[in-house]
Amino acid sequence: MSFSIGIVGLPNVGKSTTFNALTKKQIDIANYPFCTIEPNKGIVEVPDDRLEQLAKLSKSEKIIPTTIEFIDIAGLVRGAHKGEGLGNKFLATIRECDAIAQVVRDFHAGDIIHVEGKVDPASDIETINFELIFADLQTVENSLKKTTDKLKGSSASEMKIINKQIELLTFLKQNLENGILINKISLELEQHKAIKSLNLLTAKPMIFILNVDESDINTLPQIDILQNEIVIPICAKLESELAELAPEEVSEYLNQSGITMTGLDRVILESYKKLNLITYFTSGPKETRAWTITAGTLTPQAAGKIHTDFEKGFIAAEVVNWQKLIEAGSEVAAKEKGLIHLEGKLYEVKDGDVCVFRFSV
């Protein structure tokens, strides 16, 4: 299973440089607004050291990690909802994404033009949020009109359901008009389900990539609007250079700089966490593979990620924690030590579980 992250930001904040480094895929990068015309898409692997260890234990022929798709659209500018710039045209491209990453400029290189004429992260975020809000407002208003039209000729029972939908849409509209992101308001589970088909941009989980000068990559600036948000400071220019190096050269640089992982690896892992995702593994001589599921997923549904037949015919799952399996030295040894347990349909698969599913055809 892969999941997708839409990358948004003002022009010339390092969006495309960040995308280029993330995907190691060469795209147009230039020092002028709207260089990105068509959306760029790239798939990257989620770094996970556990895969290598499990593959070594199982003598696997290949390793298949979890992946993320990143989608980079044209820079948004103030007034995009009125037709300014090109970014608003491509917002539809990221409506299907699982989350949004806002790239925000906080570097001060004098030769890079800032579309607003000044470096002000808080102002940039407010601009992007406003454009996302306005795009959602249009979606909600359109849905509200269509839903209201359904009242004509409806039965009493149908009217009750429709009025409930109108009430929810009106509530969303009021919040958006007050400048409040949908992901900041309290909604019940059923309400979340009811609006899922709208693919509202401001309802999606968000992370903020703060593009800073190289000297500031270990410092997190205090920006009020980013309180209680996931903020990852990176130097896009540096990350782009690191992306071109061999893995051992990257490790050497990180060790010398006292950094545990690259900024881009942090972006990938924090995106994974923000979406409340976990990883379970299957491992054998043919392959060791990472499978992505939402935390709380039960064994039949987890098995269904491999194949729908696994879910339909699910009987039980043999489960062992990856680290305990490694420490045991083999599957046989793990069974002898009682580390592998048999689980039924109500077991919630945990991050790091290694699973073998039993199912009937």
What class is the 2-48+64-119+202-274 domain? alpha beta
Q: Is 228 annotated as a binding residue?
A: no
For the 296-359 domain, the top CATH level (class) is: alpha beta
- Which two tokens mark 195? 């609006």
Helix (H, G, I), strand (E, B) or coil at 63: strand
Query: Are 232 and 224 in contact, with CB atoms under 8 Å apart?
Result: no
CA–CA dist 299, 211 (Å, integer): 40
H or E element in which residue 240 lies: helix 236-242
Q: Does the pLDDT at position 343 exceed 50? A: yes
Give the per-residue pLDDT at 116: 54
- Which of 67-76, 99-108, 109-118, 345-354 is predicted least confidently? 109-118
Indicate the DSSP class of residue 48: -
Is 354's pLDDT higher than 70?
A: yes
User: 14 among the known binding-site residues?
Assistant: yes
8 A C-beta contact, residue 133 and residue 37: no
Please enumerate in sequence order all residues whose Cβ is within 8 A of that of 199, keeping only pairs 6 or more positions apart, or say none. Answer: 95, 96, 139
Mean pLDDT rounded to a whole number for the chain? 85
108-115 CB contacts, 8 Å cutoff, 24+ apart: 108/213, 109/213, 111/31, 112/12, 112/31, 113/12, 113/31, 113/32, 113/33, 114/10, 114/12, 114/13, 115/10, 115/11, 115/12, 115/33, 115/75, 115/77
Task: pLDDT band for 80, please (50, 70, 90 cuts).
Answer: low
The segment(s) of the chain belonging to CATH 3.40.50.300 are 2-48+64-119+202-274
In 3D, which of 241, 204, 182, 174 has the Cα closest to residue 98? Answer: 204
**CATH 3.10.20.30 domain residues, the chain:** 296-359
Residue 15 assigned to a binding site: yes
> Which amino acid, one-letter code, is at 220?
L
Question: Across residues 18-28, what is the average pLDDT?
Answer: 65
What pLDDT, on a 0 to 100 scale, did the predictor assign at position 322? 97
pTM of the model: 0.80
pLDDT digits (tens, 9 = 90+) for 199-220: 999 999 999 999 888 777 777 7
Residue 170 neighbours by CB under 8 Å, 6+ apart: 144
Q: How confident is residue 74, by pLDDT bands cut at 50, 70 and 90?
A: low
pLDDT at 111: 57
Q: What is the mean pLDDT of residues 143-162?
A: 90
pLDDT band at residue 110 using 50, 70 and 90 as cut-offs: low
Question: Which of 28-42, 100-114, 247-261 has the largest mean confidence?
Answer: 247-261
Q: 17: annotated binding-site residue?
A: yes
**Residue 30 scores a pLDDT above 80:** no
The pLDDT of residue 312 is above 70: yes
Q: What is the mean pLDDT of residues 273-278?
A: 88
Does the annotation place 170 within a ligand binding site? Answer: no
Residue 178 is labelled as binding a ligand:
no
Residue 114 in this model has a pLDDT that exceeds 60: no
- Provide, rounded to the nearest whole percent, the portion of the chain with pLDDT above 90: 49
Asked whether residue 40 carries a pLDDT value surpassing 50, the answer given is: yes
pLDDT-derived band at 109 (thresholds 50, 70, 90) equals low
pLDDT higher than threshold 90 for residue 243: no
Q: What is the DSSP letter of 348?
A: B
CA–CA distance, 333 with 51 (Å, rounded to integer): 20
| Residue 32 CA neighbour count, 13 Å, CB half | 2
Q: Given a cut of 80, is residue 224 above it in pLDDT?
A: yes
How far, in Å, CA of 357 to CA of 299, rounded? 8
Percent of the chain with pLDDT over 70: 88
pLDDT-wise least confident of 154-163, 187-196, 253-262:
253-262
Please say if the pLDDT value at position 177 is more than 80. yes
